[in-house]
A and B are shown apart, each in its own frame.
Chain A
Amino acid sequence: MNAIDNKWIGQRTIRPDGADKVTGRACYSADLSMPGMIWAKVLRSPHAHAVIRGINTAKDEALPGVKAVVTAADMVEFPLDKSVMLGIQDMRWMSRNMLAREKALFHGHPIAAVAAISEEIAAQACKLIEVDYDVLQHAIEIEDAIKPDAPILHDFVRHEGQKSNIAGTMVIKQGDIEAGFAEADIVIERSFKTRPVHQGYIEPHACTVSCTADGKVTIWSSSQGQFMVRGMTSLLTGIPQSNIRAIPAEIGGGFGAKTIIYLEPVAVLLSKKSGRPVKLVMTRDEVFRSTGPTSGSMSTIKIGAKKDGTIVAGQGTFYLQAGALPGSPLRGAVGCSFGPYDIPNVLSVGYDVLCNRSKVAAYRAPGAPIGAYVMESVLDELAEALKIDPLELRLKNSAKKGTKASYGAVFGAITFEETIRAIKEHPHYSAPLEHAPEKGVLRGRGVASGFWYNAGGESSAQVNITEDGNVTVTTGHPDVGGSRASIANVTAELLGIEHKRISVLIGDTASIGFSNLTGGSRVTFASAMVVTQSAEKVIAQLRERAAKIWKIDPEAVAWANGEARPAGPNAGQFPPLTLKDLAAKANEMGGPIGAGVQLTTTGADPGFATHVVDVEVDVELGIVRVLRYTAAQDVGRALHPDYVEGQVQGGVVQGIGWALAEEYLYDKQGRVDNASFLDYRMPVCSDVPFIEPLVLEIPNPKHPQGVRGAGEAPLVPPLAAINNAVYNALGKRFYSLPLSPPKVLAVIEG
């Protein structure tokens, strides 16, 4: 399809859920209340690491107003030696993350939960719970967790035959790494560190749950997948999925972190015990201490190249913090670092390191920003050493259609080079970098690229024609950033009607077929695919109905501009039948009109991005400011350009935060010291400029509208792009994030 044929695809239509969201009516997870509802609170560990010898809940249960108390003993037990998976999540870890079992593994780890007639009484009751702790030594940083005498978090974890905090290893190999380096004219090896950063959604986790006497459970909560909520709650409570209805509330940001849950099963157990609907809402402090973030990292990367810039070998070692339970995003760091390049010899190894922090959760292209940060920073040094333009160096080595990626895939019609060229040809890249007007302020420019795998997976849709000839579309994916608007555009295009005649809804687990998570940059890709197939079925029905009315062959009926017409002069002469006409006759002509499709979608090719950024550094204060930012990305097809641009702009600003300011501070007892938005410094409006998205639309041949994923790739290049720009400004390289003022000053002065 190209833009000229399209009436609705690519239009900046007003989103279907917009009016509710600008008037304050949209119902997010914490907005729902129910008659008879009571409130829950979670008791959290005051220690970073401790054995739980016993929990006595007698005193709090006796407090007037308390209706129920639960601990891990009320949850289904998942023995440590047997893995039970739901998607990529292991229930051994999920259950222990929700309520600590043998040990408290981080400060803020949930120990018990109380439901009472008010939130205050519930909080009071939490204080009365007596927990007998045996406090242990803790390990917060990677260095502390992997040293030989480190306190061990889990006795069953073995690495190279020894008890260890290394819970897993991932290795990617291609070619012969030794031979590769032997061939190189130049070898650069550097080590880097990044800090864990929180996803930072503005909506804290919350749910309201109602469990009735006949064992039926209804959950209202915001998540990146109501089916995940149902599946995980079922496993952890033992209630069959058929008895659980998970209703997706509007979601106030997730960025990956809401692909898992913290509260729903706990609230279900409390509701079951108390016989009352239960509401459980996290505070921001709890969000910072006990959810997310993504991994901090320690890595070393070594690149070997020929004098002409051809990279012949790449070796990486990545230690990623998993937090208290296994599962750091190794695949992103280990695979996405070298992934975009055609390198014959690669050895990339990742280690999953346990430490006494909250268990990490997915964050937008999980692990990939870390991998790209180290790779793209070293590429900048390589370009400088070889006196090659950094974009030329990337072009020279970029993967193309048919390249066998180091992580194993053979690339299809990828468009990495196009993103590099787009930046190279953009006026930003050729504009001279002006001197700052103030003294003591230096400016610099940096570039970096990145990629994300993208994903397909299970999706379901239902398209129905209403009796008055309008349309409802239901899909199973929570809408985190405007996906309903894209679906309205696609449906309008296919049916040939005004987009305002279409209402797009997100079904609950009882009203639409299984749909996998909103994650992996998959929702627009996958839901547009199932909606297209459903709409095509509906069109076939409409043509059949018209054919029946006209008593001609369905093949002789065409559907265009929202009406059935005879396909050609031979089909006969009939006045067109509109959607309204056919809907009015639906009953007599064969019944309701509508169709659904449930599918495991495939064909989501990787997404590539290349960014250029200008910064200025105040050498007195060490403050880095972003002045100008241009981000090129191929999205295949922008069904709704505003929301694609929004993904790019939002991802870039998250990257700016990661690069310049965001980090957790811990005290000596292993407690988070900055669990608030005041002290954990995310970018605010005055910290950033306009972000220019350069959205390329090179259609993905494997998708009906040409869509590739868009949501995650924008967070991959910024860390390195900014790191490289700061070097360009100061002439000094940095090997650790964030580039916070004290760190910048130390390097300037040191």
Chain B
Amino acid sequence: MAKMHIATTINGEPTEFLCEPHQSVLDVLRNTLGLTGSKEGCGTGDCGACSITLDGRLVCSCLVMAPEVEGRQITTIEGMAQGDHLHPLQQKFLELAALQCGICTPGFLVAAKALLEQNPDPTESEVRFWLAGNLCRCTGYDKIVRAVLETAADMKGAA
């Protein structure tokens, strides 16, 4: 079958690629475009390591078919820092050691950013339920939840 030509926007940059109709966005990001910051922990929508936003909505990129992104806006972990300026969530994850092996970290950061955009002042339980789609096997989630709550508090203070 002929490959499909897709034009989309990734982290603000116009991007074109060729794909098979059944390829996932995650596969294209990682293996066609070299954006390996999104991770594949399962490929079935159960771990959140591949989290991206599509037109501002948090999705598992392993569950989105590549042709679906035609004309849409994607953001990935690679688009989170501005130049060498880390996003406050990235900075807080470092300061509070909210990562151990770090494989889940891109997914958590993308998901947490989407949360704070929707709900700048979440409770602990809102953070926990929002992030329940992201698996981490190293940290016990403790420092991740704290980092998200503290970032929210800082950003509110700064606003």
Task: Check B140 against A691 for contact (C-beta < 8 Å).
Answer: yes
Q: Does A741 contact B (CB under 8 A)?
A: no
CA distance A218 to B36 in the complex (A): 21
How big is the A interface, by class? Answer: 35 or more
Q: Does A602 contact B (CB under 8 A)?
A: no
User: Secondary structure of the B side of the interface?
Assistant: loop
Chain A 1-40 interface mask (CB, 8 Å, partner B; 1/0): 0000000000010110111011111111011010000000
**With contacts A204-B41, A690-B142 known, is A643 near B47, CB below 8 A?**
no
Q: In whole Å, how far is B17's beta carbon from the nearest beta carbon of chain A?
A: 15
Q: What chain B residues lie within 8 Å of A686 (beta carbons)?
A: 125, 128-129, 131-132
Task: Check A649 against B139 for contact (C-beta < 8 Å).
Answer: yes
Q: Which residue of B lies closest to A17 (CB)?
A: B102
**With contacts A22-B94, A204-B40, A677-B46 known, is A255 near B137, CB below 8 A?**
yes
Task: Check B103 against A202 for contact (C-beta < 8 Å).
Answer: yes
Interface 9-residue window, one of B2-10, B63-71, B72-80, B151-159:
B72-80
Chain A 195-212 interface mask (CB, 8 Å, partner B; 1/0): 000011111100000000
Q: What chain A residues lie within 8 Å of B103 (beta carbons)?
A: 28, 201-203, 250, 252-253
The 7 closest A-B pairs by CB, nearest first: A24-B37, A252-B103, A642-B97, A653-B140, A649-B140, A21-B102, A677-B46
Q: Does B18 contact A (CB under 8 A)?
A: no
Task: Check A284 against B101 for contact (C-beta < 8 Å).
Answer: no
Chain A 675-718 interface mask (CB, 8 Å, partner B; 1/0): 01110001111111011000000000000000000000000000
* Set A28, A204, A643, A685: member contacting B131, Cβ < 8 A: A685
21 contacts between A and B (CB under 8 A): A12-B97, A14-B94, A21-B99, A23-B77, A24-B76, A25-B37, A26-B102, A30-B36, A31-B30, A201-B103, A202-B41, A203-B41, A203-B101, A203-B103, A252-B39, A253-B101, A480-B138, A481-B138, A650-B137, A684-B131, A690-B145
Q: Does A511 contact B (CB under 8 A)?
A: no
Q: Which residue of A lies closest to B92 (CB)?
A: A22
Q: Which residue of A lies closest to B40 (CB)?
A: A30
* Set A12, A200, A685, A690: member contacting B137, Cβ < 8 A: A200
**With contacts A678-B46, A686-B132 known, is A15 near B97, CB below 8 A?**
yes
* Set B39, B78, B140: member contacting A202, Cβ < 8 A: B39
Q: Which residue of B lies closest to A677 (CB)?
A: B46
Q: In whole Å, how far is A154's beta carbon from the nearest beta carbon of chain B?
A: 33
CA distance A284 to B62 in the complex (A): 13
User: Secondary structure of the A side of the interface?
Assistant: loop
Q: Does B134 contact A (CB under 8 A)?
A: yes
Q: Does A610 contact B (CB under 8 A)?
A: no
Task: Check B86 against A482 for contact (C-beta < 8 Å).
Answer: no
* Set A18, A251, A254, A678: member contacting B44, Cβ < 8 A: A678
* Set B36, B81, B137: member contacting A31, Cβ < 8 A: B36
Q: Which residue of A lies closest to B89 (CB)?
A: A22
Q: What chain A residues lie within 8 Å of B106 (beta carbons)?
A: 22, 24
From B38, B47, B78, B142, residue with most partner A Cβ within 10 Å: B142
CA distance A341 to B131 in the complex (A): 41
Q: Does A242 contact B (CB under 8 A)?
A: no
Q: In whole Å, how far is A282's beta carbon from the nearest beta carbon of chain B?
A: 10
Q: Does A646 contact B (CB under 8 A)?
A: yes
Q: Which residue of A lies closest to B141 (CB)?
A: A685
Q: What chain A residues lie within 8 Å of B78 (beta carbons)?
A: 23-24
Chain A 656-692 interface mask (CB, 8 Å, partner B; 1/0): 0000000000000000000011100011111110110
Q: What chain B residues lie within 8 Å of A24 (beta carbons)?
A: 35-38, 76-78, 80, 106
Interface size counted on chain B using CB atoms at 8 A: 58
Q: What chain B residues lie within 8 Å of A22 (beta carbons)?
A: 86, 90, 93-94, 99, 102, 105-106, 109
* Set B90, B95, B100, B141: member contacting A481, Cβ < 8 A: B100
Q: In whole Å, how far is A629's beta carbon from the nearest beta carbon of chain B?
A: 9
**With contacts A284-B44, A684-B135 known, is A643 near B129, CB below 8 A?**
no
Chain A 531-549 interface mask (CB, 8 Å, partner B; 1/0): 0000000000000000000
Q: Which residue of A lies closest to B104 (CB)?
A: A202
Chain A 285-313 interface mask (CB, 8 Å, partner B; 1/0): 00000000000000000000000000000
Q: In whole Å, how far is B46's beta carbon from the nearest beta carbon of chain A?
A: 4
From A18, A25, A202, A283, residue with most partner B Cβ within 10 Å: A202
CA distance A12 to B104 in the complex (A): 21
Q: Does B31 contact A (CB under 8 A)?
A: yes
Task: Check B142 against A18 for contact (C-beta < 8 Å).
Answer: no
Q: Known contacts A250-B102, A252-B39; can you find 9 more A-B pairs with CB under 8 A?
A: A23-B86, A31-B30, A33-B31, A201-B101, A481-B101, A682-B137, A685-B136, A686-B131, A688-B140
Q: What chain B residues lie within 8 Å of A23 (beta carbons)?
A: 37, 77-78, 80-81, 86, 90
Task: Check A677 against B105 for contact (C-beta < 8 Å).
Answer: no
Task: Check A677 against B101 for contact (C-beta < 8 Å).
Answer: no
Q: Which residue of A lies closest to B107 (CB)?
A: A202
Task: Check B141 against A653 for contact (C-beta < 8 Å).
Answer: yes
From A15, A28, A646, residue with most partner B Cβ within 10 Å: A646
**With contacts A202-B39, A204-B41, A685-B132 known, is A18 near B94, CB below 8 A?**
yes
Q: Which residue of B lies closest to A119 (CB)?
A: B31
CA distance A531 to B67 in the complex (A): 52
Q: Which residue of A lies closest to B136 (CB)?
A: A202
Q: Does B19 contact A (CB under 8 A)?
A: no
Q: Does A165 contact B (CB under 8 A)?
A: no
Q: Does B49 contact A (CB under 8 A)?
A: yes
Q: Which residue of B lies closest to A28 (CB)?
A: B103
**With contacts A23-B86, A24-B38, A684-B132 known, is A676 near B44, CB below 8 A?**
yes
Q: Does B144 contact A (CB under 8 A)?
A: yes
From B131, B143, B145, residue with most partner A Cβ within 10 Å: B143
Q: In whole Å, how far is B8's beta carbon from the nearest beta carbon of chain A?
A: 18
Q: In whole Å, how far is B74's beta carbon from the nearest beta carbon of chain A?
A: 14
Q: Does A652 contact B (CB under 8 A)?
A: yes
Task: Check B94 against A650 for contact (C-beta < 8 Å).
Answer: no
Task: Check A252 against B31 for contact (C-beta < 8 Å).
Answer: no
Q: What chain B residues lie within 8 Å of A283 (beta carbons)?
A: 43
Q: Does A328 contact B (CB under 8 A)?
A: no
Within 8 A of B (CB), among A237-271: 250-255
CA distance A200 to B135 in the complex (A): 10
Task: Check B105 against A21 for contact (C-beta < 8 Å).
Answer: yes
Q: In whole Å, how far is A38's beta carbon from the nearest beta carbon of chain B?
A: 13
CA distance A643 to B83 in the complex (A): 28
* Set A33, A250, A645, A685: member contacting B128, Cβ < 8 A: A685
CA distance A649 to B127 in the complex (A): 18
Q: Which residue of A lies closest to B108 (CB)?
A: A685
Q: Which residue of B lies closest to A200 (CB)?
A: B137
**With contacts A24-B106, A253-B138 known, is A677 near B47, CB below 8 A?**
yes
Q: What chain A residues lie within 8 Å of B43 (beta carbons)?
A: 283-284
Q: Does A515 contact B (CB under 8 A)?
A: no
Task: Check A685 against B134 for contact (C-beta < 8 Å).
Answer: yes
CA distance A456 to B135 in the complex (A): 32
CA distance A675 to B143 in the complex (A): 29
Q: What chain A residues lie within 8 Å of B135 (beta carbons)?
A: 200, 202, 677, 682, 684
Q: What chain B residues lie within 8 Å of A723 (beta carbons)?
A: none
Q: What chain B residues lie within 8 Å of A252 (beta carbons)?
A: 39, 41, 101-104
CA distance A283 to B43 in the complex (A): 8
